[in-house]
Amino acid sequence: MAKELLLKKGREKSSKRHHPWIFSGAVEKVTGDPGMGESLLVRDGDGQLVGWAAYSPASQIRARFWNYDPTQSVQLDFFVGQLQKALARRQAIWPLGLPAAFRWVNGENDGLPGLVVDRYGDYLVCQFLSAGTETAKTMILEALQNLWPAQGVVERSDVSVREKEGLAPVKGLLAGTLPSGPVPVEIGGIHFAVDLLEGHKTGHYLDQRENWAVVRQLAQGKEVLNCFGYTGGFSLAALQGGATKVTQVELSGPANRQFEANLALNALGSEAVTVREEDVFKELRLMRDQGKSFDLVILDPPKFAESQSQLDKAARGYKDINLLAMKLIRPGGLLVSFSCSGAMEPKLFQKILADAALDAHKEAHLLRRLGPGPDHGPNLNFPEGDYLKGLLVALD
């Protein structure tokens, strides 16, 4: 029996619009007893072929489309082609040459659901986040090596989202050799030493490249507070831009030590820098009670909402932290605030900041909307991929 997935009548609309996810509630039946991650043909409610998708019986996202061409099966040449197209899009962004660090593959946004590939110098770091990419890992690795003979390919699939796919976390070397230590790279004019095995995500956050540049332009002569600073991207950008003082709040000791190392890498002294190794919520309340104030505050928190069901709780967290930050900003000062929760829609995020400004007794003026770098841009048929939202706000 052919291995196929039949959609319920009336549930084909998103698939016909090339949205890559098929939720369990849209599935009429599955035939042929496919295994986890196996590619199978998808038919609409009228029996017409739609394309190929990877099956994930453990997940509410029951299948993820590879393509919408029933004649193109999912073999090595498919992955080579998708990787080539993704790379060509990055070469169009940077026609004078690819940077030393960038996102080559951004999952569903590049037609490879569940696959992330980042470049750091001579190394590639991959995340296989779906049953389909886990099953196709060998082919994907071969395709990557055919197109980019990296010195080493590292896997960082040590993330909780794999549990929803019925997969265990995995971390280690896939091919080549491991670096002897952190990999030095320049990202948006800032030098970092990136720990590929222990750093967040694939070793670092590459999506804030353009937003570091925004802070660099704003920082001249300002006292800056950078919250959830990690290894110091926004702090380093502010110092490069001429900030008179930078206070970084980050709970992780290893991240703060790496920030201090990154100061030296960028030939930036530590005299104007204060590092607070504390919980951001507690530290902001303490600063409020102490009457401290700043010209520019940056909020780049981790994801507060992993799913739609967590959105209400997340909204309260965003409201709380932005309210605390606004109370620390001097008249005429600036707030740069982000949400990386995909479930958080831009209109709701703006409303949360508007409500926080009212409670802080401040007038808030939106100066600019911010988002991820172009190598992290969403596919227009996949709004969930537009995850990073930022607002630059002036406060009276």
What's residue 1's pLDDT? 65
Domain of residue 20 covers 4-67
What's residue 145's pLDDT? 96
Mean pLDDT of 67-79: 96
Same domain, 243 and 376: yes
What's residue 164's pLDDT? 94
Mean pLDDT of 319-325: 97
Q: Which of 7, 115, 185, 340 is catalytic?
A: 340
Same domain, 336 and 388: yes
If you ran DSSP here, which 8-state letter would residue 282 be given? H
Whether 155 maps to a domain, the answer reads yes
CA distances from 284 to 159, 227, 328, 332 (A): 29, 9, 8, 20
Q: Give the model confidence (pLDDT) of 26-37 as tens digits.
A: 999 999 999 999
What's residue 304's pLDDT? 87
Tokens 């670092």 -> residue? 204
What's residue 333's pLDDT? 98
Same domain, 179 and 271: no
Same domain, 286 and 372: yes
Q: Give the model confidence (pLDDT) of 129-171 as tens digits.
A: 999 999 999 999 999 999 999 999 999 999 999 999 999 999 9
| Domain boundary pick from 152, 185, 218 | 185
| Domain boundary pick from 40, 67, 94 | 67
Mean pLDDT of 293-311: 88
The CATH number for 81's domain is 3.30.750.80
Whether 84 maps to a domain, the answer reads yes
Give 307 or 271, the one with higher predicted confidence. 271
Same domain, 349 and 275: yes
Q: Give the model confidence (pLDDT) of 39-50 as tens digits.
A: 999 999 999 999
Provide the number of structural domains found in the chain.
Answer: 3
Mean pLDDT of 77-85: 98
Q: Give the model confidence (pLDDT) of 248-276 as tens digits.
A: 999 999 999 999 999 999 999 999 999 99
The CATH number for 42's domain is 2.30.130.10
Whether 353 maps to a domain, the answer reads yes
Whether 201 maps to a domain, the answer reads no
Statement: residue 372 has pLDDT above 70: yes
The CATH number for 227's domain is 3.40.50.150
Please state at what angle helix 346-359 crosses helix 311-327, rounded to 10 degrees: 40
DSSP per-residue string spanning 248-270: EE-S-HHHHHHHHHHHHHTT--S
Same domain, 322 and 360: yes
Whether 96 maps to a domain, the answer reads yes
Same domain, 264 and 148: no
Same domain, 279 and 136: no
Q: Give the model confidence (pLDDT) of 202-239 as tens digits.
A: 999 999 999 999 999 999 999 999 999 999 999 999 99
Determine the Cα–Cα distance for residues 86 and 84; give it in Å rounded to an integer: 5
Is 126 considered catalytic here? no
Whether 57 maps to a domain, the answer reads yes
Statement: residue 305 has pLDDT above 80: no
Same domain, 91 and 225: no
Same domain, 95 and 169: yes
Same domain, 275 and 311: yes
The sign of the CA dihedral 34, 37, 38, 42 is positive
Q: What percent of the chain has pLDDT over 90?
A: 94
What's residue 2's pLDDT? 78
| Domain boundary pick from 185, 218, 240 | 185
Same domain, 254 and 359: yes
Closest CA to 24 of 37, 13, 10, 8: 8
What's residue 312's pLDDT? 85
> Taking all residues of the chain, what is their mean pLDDT, rounded to a whole number?
96
Statement: residue 72 has pLDDT above 70: yes
pTM: 0.93
